[in-house]
Amino acid sequence: MAAKENLDIDEKKSAPKGDFFEVHKKLFVGILVFFALCISVIISVTLSLLLTPKPASTLELEARLGELVESVQSMENSIAEQNLKLDQNVARYEVLQTHLRHTSSTTLKNILIDQEKNFQSFLHVLRAGMRDLSVEVPNGADWYDDYGDQMQKALKRSQQRQELLSLLKTGAVPEESTEAIASPEATP
């Protein structure tokens, strides 16, 4: 019996060696199948990502994005050009405004000078008419002397205004001329 027991123990010792691979054969096969399955999934995902073309919408979006970038750049260039033109036009506008102010003031000065000349001409004609009338009217000489002095003063002030306007036209204004015009003598 002891020999039998030794045989059983030897069989048990040798049995597990043969049985270990047999027992664990399913586990080894399962692990190998799992690794093979993982490798095949990795390969199939990689190939599908590499070989499948991008969707048409993505390509269209990228093309549209490129067009929009070009459009924005051209608009920015256009805005920069318009800003440059606007700056130039603002400078021209300021020059024209200055020119217009000077032109309109010169024109106004010319009109006033012409009015003074016309006023002086009217006073000369009126004075000549008064002289002719004073000869025909009794006591006309006294009347002519009284009003002739006032007309002479009005004519003198008109000539002073014309001189002042001529000086203003050139830009030089003496103080005494402005005082003489600003404080005319009172007429009765």
pLDDT tens digits, one per residue of 117-128: 998 899 889 888
* The predicted structure's pLDDT at residue 39: 96
Q: Is residue 21 part of a domain?
A: no
Asked if residues 180 and 159 have their Cβ atoms less than 8 Å apart, the reply is no
Q: Is residue 163 part of a domain?
A: yes
Q: Is the pLDDT of residue 77 over 90?
A: yes
Q: Is residue 127 part of a domain?
A: yes
Q: Is residue 150 part of a domain?
A: yes
Q: Is residue 173 part of a domain?
A: yes
Reported for 111-115, long-range contacts at CB under 8 A and 24+ positions apart, including other chains, are 112/161, 112/165, 113/162, 113/165, 113/166, 113/169
Q: Is the pLDDT of residue 177 over 50?
A: no
Half-sphere exposure of 7 (CA within 13 A, CB side): 4
Sorted by sequence, the CB contacts under 8 Å of residue 163 that are 6+ apart come out as 177
Domain count, the chain: 1
Comparing 181 with 78, which gets the higher pLDDT?
78
Q: Is residue 187 part of a domain?
A: no
Q: Which domain holds residue 105?
A: 80-181
**Region 46-74: what's the mean pLDDT?**
84
Q: Is residue 34 part of a domain?
A: no
Q: Band of the pLDDT at 188, cuts 50, 70, 90?
A: very low
Q: Band of the pLDDT at 187, cuts 50, 70, 90?
A: very low
Q: Is residue 106 part of a domain?
A: yes
d(CA 123, CA 128): 8
Comparing 187 with 64, which gets the higher pLDDT?
64
